[in-house]
């Protein structure tokens, strides 16, 4: 079940990376590179933390082929339809939800604690987007004042973990966990919900004797 969800996550995150790179005017190499980073970055870091070898995208060799095909299809299109452009945030939220739950699930299979599983789920869901933003010369939303991102992943992972113990059918836990993360992210974007931030002036005041 987790592997199927992971496949969907690769498709969603890869498509997001492809569209992000196209928006920046990159060529095919750039499009494919950014798509790989967004699709495989978080899961690679998770596998390294859990000492899972080979890495998930090497073990499932069709994953890079899928991203490669997405990059080719997008590069051949002269112009991306506006309806697809508008779906960018939805794809980002979907990739976040899918990868976060997969990461938490694999962490639990490795006998980690719930807290570690929720952290690894958050890393899996967010780190690919962080790498993609850096390569595209943007400050990642994870490191600046922006609508809730990692928080949605973290909370949704706990929803998944709680339901995982309550229901023997993992489909319920996985489905509700993914939906929770996606909805939290979209709500945060729509209403611009953010965590409190510290201004540079506040930091300077605290340094004063």
Tell me the chain's radius of gyration from C-alpha atoms.
18
Residue pLDDT, tens place only, 133-147: 999 988 888 888 889
Higher pLDDT, 11 or 77: 11
* pTM (two decimals): 0.92
Residue pLDDT, tens place only, 51-86: 999 999 999 999 999 999 999 998 888 777 777 767
- Tell me the pLDDT band of 201, cut-offs 50, 70 and 90: low
Count Cβ atoms within 10 A of the Cβ of residue 158 and give its class: 0-12 exposed, 13-18 middle, 19 or more buried.
middle
In angstroms, the CA 108 to CA 141 distance is 27
Coil vs helix vs strand at 55:
coil
């Amino acid at each position: 079940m987790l592997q199927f969800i992971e496949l969907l996550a690769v498709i969603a995150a890869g498509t997001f990376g492809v569209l992000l790179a196209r928006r920046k005017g990159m060529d095919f190499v750039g499009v494919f590179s950014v798509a790989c980073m967004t699709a495989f970055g978080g899961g690679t870091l998770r596998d390294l933390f859990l000492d899972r070898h080979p890495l998930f995208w090497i073990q499932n060799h069709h994953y890079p082929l899928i991203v490669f095909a997405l990059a080719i299809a997008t590069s051949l299109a002269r112009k991306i339809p506006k309806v697809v452009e508008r779906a960018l945030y939805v794809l980002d939220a979907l990739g976040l939800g899918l990868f976060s739950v997969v990461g938490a699930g694999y962490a639990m299979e490795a006998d980690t604690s719930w807290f570690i599983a929720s952290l690894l789920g958050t890393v899996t869901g967010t780190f690919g987007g962080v790498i993609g933003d850096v390569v595209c010369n943007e400050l990642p939303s994870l490191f600046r004042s922006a609508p809730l991102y990692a928080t949605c992943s973290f909370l949704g992972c706990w929803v998944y973990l709680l339901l995982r113990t309550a229901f023997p059918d993992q489909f319920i836990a996985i489905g509700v966990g993914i939906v929770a993360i996606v909805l939290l992210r979209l709500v945060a974007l729509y209403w611009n919900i953010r965590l409190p931030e510290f201004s540079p002036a506040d930091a300077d005041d605290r340094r004063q004797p």
